[in-house]
Amino acid sequence: MMCPPRREILFLLGDALELAFTHKFGCDAEMAIHLLIRAKALGLRPAGVSFHVGSQQTDPLQWDSPIEHAEQVSRACARAGVELDLLNLGGGFPGRYRFEVPSLATYAETIEDALDEHFGSSRPRIIIEPGRYLVAFHGAGSRGRVYWSTPLGSPEDVPRFRADSTQ
């Protein structure tokens, strides 16, 4: 069995991002444009760009600036004949631990607004990585008890199960 031809995604740095690890990997928009154009010239198949706003991001507006940078990269690449059709919005969607966080609907609406504002009708396909949001509240251990819930559940809705056999 042959694998389909792979496509490359370039990770962008985020200048407005608060967490230090977001500056460890990736490149700025100018370098991204250069690398994606060069990648195509070398026979690779650039697909798009990716970014990450930081883990446990409680401000939905933090996706706006990186989406704007991604659109600028996409537009510049298109002028050079490199069509990008993919945008990975990364993760950062917070899990609710001890404090309330904005609803997933709030994040979706804010991100949709940013995509509309910056990409308009030329919106790329979108990938998200909502790992923590999906699993953060599924389970936690405390003094021999395990707590389970859905990601959208509240603490009052959590059925409690003993982790030991003395229940």
* Location of structure tokens 């200048």: 15
Question: Which pLDDT does position 47 carry in this prediction?
Answer: 92
Q: Please write the tens of the pLDDT for every residue from 49-100.
A: 998 888 888 899 999 999 999 999 999 999 999 999 999 998 888 887 778 8
Question: Which pLDDT does position 75 carry in this prediction?
Answer: 97
To which H or E segment does residue 146 belong?
strand 145-148
The reported pTM is: 0.74
Phi/psi of residue 160, nearest 5 degrees: -110, 135
- Please state the CATH superfamily assignment of the domain spanning residues 8-136 in this structure: Alanine racemase (3.20.20.10)
Which residues belong to CATH 3.20.20.10 in the chain? 8-136
How many other CB atoms sit within 10 Å of the CB of residue 96? 18
Strand partners, 48: 9, 86
